[in-house]
Amino acid sequence: MKKMLVFQTDFTYKEGAVASMYGVVKSVDEDIEIISATHEIPQYDTYSASYRLYQYIDFWPKGTIFVSVVDPGVGTSRKAAVAKTKNGYYIVTPDNGTLTHVDKYFGIEEIRQIDETINRLHRQDNGYVSVFHGRDLFGYCAAKLASGIISYEEVGPKYDVEEIVKHPIIEARDEGNMIEGYFEIKDPNFGNLWTNIPLDMFKKHFKLGDTVKTKIYYQNRLKYEWDLPYYDSFSKAPNHSVMVYNNELNKMAIAEVVGNLEKDYDLDFGSDYRVVFIYE
């Protein structure tokens, strides 16, 4: 049975990069099913690419192959790799931080460097292109793997999972009378901001309907101090009010109801944005 290919990139649909990448896949095997996860990862943002894989990977059928191409180092010595995860998936990607969250939350069982001598597209009419590995290397190799032309062992040589390039991940803290975390990602369409604070940690001190004393710092300077309600539905708060909720990954998040917290309150994600929930 052929495996599905799920793609995420920072290419957008503004030009033909995605179409040519998918064309290579179909040229290898027209029966391979291709699904677009997103092509709107922020430019060059390998951290966001890593987080998005963590957000959705575990909801797909086991054996699905994910292709993540956010590759600011294309053409450099960074490794082109295929990782096999402990929860039963494959990820074809540059080894540049994109595997961080999957390794932390699900584990990587094995990783192999793509052998470009046999698993890279070479066309006489196209010459050697060093800046489009999404098409010529990642897409092509993923297609061969999905179709069964090559086995995982034939991707290329194995290397130590300890060598995988990873972003630092900051853990939330529950100390004294406060829970402290940061905005680790955003919901770009609605402007909600997601923290790294787990629901289980939060629920030790708060329950639905509570008012949560909340402080938001930017570069250690207090930016906002709010008393926010904790709800399980946006409909329970008035439009344009701000509330706390737990997101789809069971981490705490803050939203402006029928608004855009990120834009309306000049906020963003990253370790500069510290979030503190204070309890008695």
- Do 158 and 211 lie in one domain? The reply is no
- Do 157 and 191 lie in one domain? The reply is no
Q: Which of the listed residues 163, 196, 218 is the one where a domain comes to its end?
A: 163
Contact 192, 257 (CB under 8 A): no
- Do 54 and 189 lie in one domain? The reply is no
Evaluate whether residue 46 is within a structural domain: yes
Evaluate whether residue 67 is within a structural domain: yes
- Do 72 and 178 lie in one domain? The reply is no
Q: Which of the listed residues 142, 163, 184 is the one where a domain comes to its end?
A: 163
45: which residues sit within 8 A by CB, 6+ positions away?
A: 10, 70
What is the pLDDT at residue 222?
98
What is the pLDDT at residue 125?
58
Please report the beta strands in 128-172, taking only residues with DSSP state E, as ranges in sequence order. Answer: 158-159
Evaluate whether residue 168 is within a structural domain: no
In tens digits, what is the pLDDT along the chain, a chain of 280 residues?
Answer: 799 999 999 999 999 999 999 999 999 999 999 999 999 999 999 999 999 999 999 999 999 999 999 999 777 788 999 999 999 999 999 999 999 999 999 999 999 999 999 998 876 555 555 557 778 899 999 999 999 999 999 999 999 999 999 999 999 999 999 999 999 999 999 999 999 999 999 999 999 999 999 999 999 999 999 999 999 999 999 999 999 999 999 999 999 999 999 999 999 999 999 999 999 8
C-alpha 278/C-alpha 280 separation (Å) is 7
Evaluate whether residue 158 is within a structural domain: yes
Indicate which CATH number applies to the domain containing 48: 3.40.50.10790
Q: Which of the listed residues 141, 163, 185 is the one where a domain comes to its end?
A: 163
- Do 112 and 17 lie in one domain? The reply is yes
Global pTM reads: 0.93
Backbone φ/ψ region at 250: left (φ over 0), alpha (ψ -120 to 50), beta: left
Range of the domain at 85: 5-163
29 three-state secondary structure: coil
List, in sequence order, every residue forming a beta bridge with 54; answer none if it has no partner: none
- Do 189 and 128 lie in one domain? The reply is no
Number of independent structural domains in the chain: 2
What is the pLDDT at residue 220?
95
Indicate which CATH number applies to the domain containing 185: 2.40.30.90
Q: Which helix (H) or strand (E) holds 22?
A: helix 17-28
- Do 137 and 38 lie in one domain? The reply is yes
